[in-house]
Amino acid sequence: MGKLLLLFIMLLCGGGLAAQEAAPVKPDYSGTYSGSAWSTDSALVLTELELIYGTDSTGTFSLRDKYTGKKGPDIASRIKGEYTIAAETLDGHKVTLVTLSDEQQNKIMYYLLKAGDILEPLDDDKHTTEAAATHTLKKKL
């Protein structure tokens, strides 16, 4: 009788572990990324991009920019929309590409996901830009 009880308990525990392993895990790329850069008119541009988990490869985003210039009041902008994340081959290298599409579908932006916590902006042709060094976004912890 004791052996049957022990076997029953082991089956219950094993079944619980299988259910725990099957639970979906949010990818580590979702979260808030931020950075700052100087614009051509000497204004500091503070950028914050929030990737909100939807599925393993899609979700929504909110992109906020704040221009803090020496002349006049600060100017803030906000773009919302959907994003996709996909593995692609760019310039012969396999990379993870984040594509942002705003709500009006009239603007598409590309970012290269590097090391899991850095987003580097790409141009419309998915190439690295000169601004990539200064406009890179780092994930907030």
4-63 residue pLDDT tens:
444 444 444 554 444 445 555 556 789 999 999 887 777 889 999 999 999 999 999 999
The pTM of the whole model exceeds 0.95: no
- The CATH architecture annotation of domain 31-139 reads Beta Barrel (2.40)
Which residues does 43 contact at the CB level (< 8 Å), separation at least 6? 67, 68, 69, 70
**Residue 8, pLDDT score:** 44
pLDDT one-digit tens code per residue, 64-109? 999 988 777 889 999 999 999 999 998 899 999 999 999 887 889 9
Domain segments of the chain: what residues? 31-139
SS3 49: strand
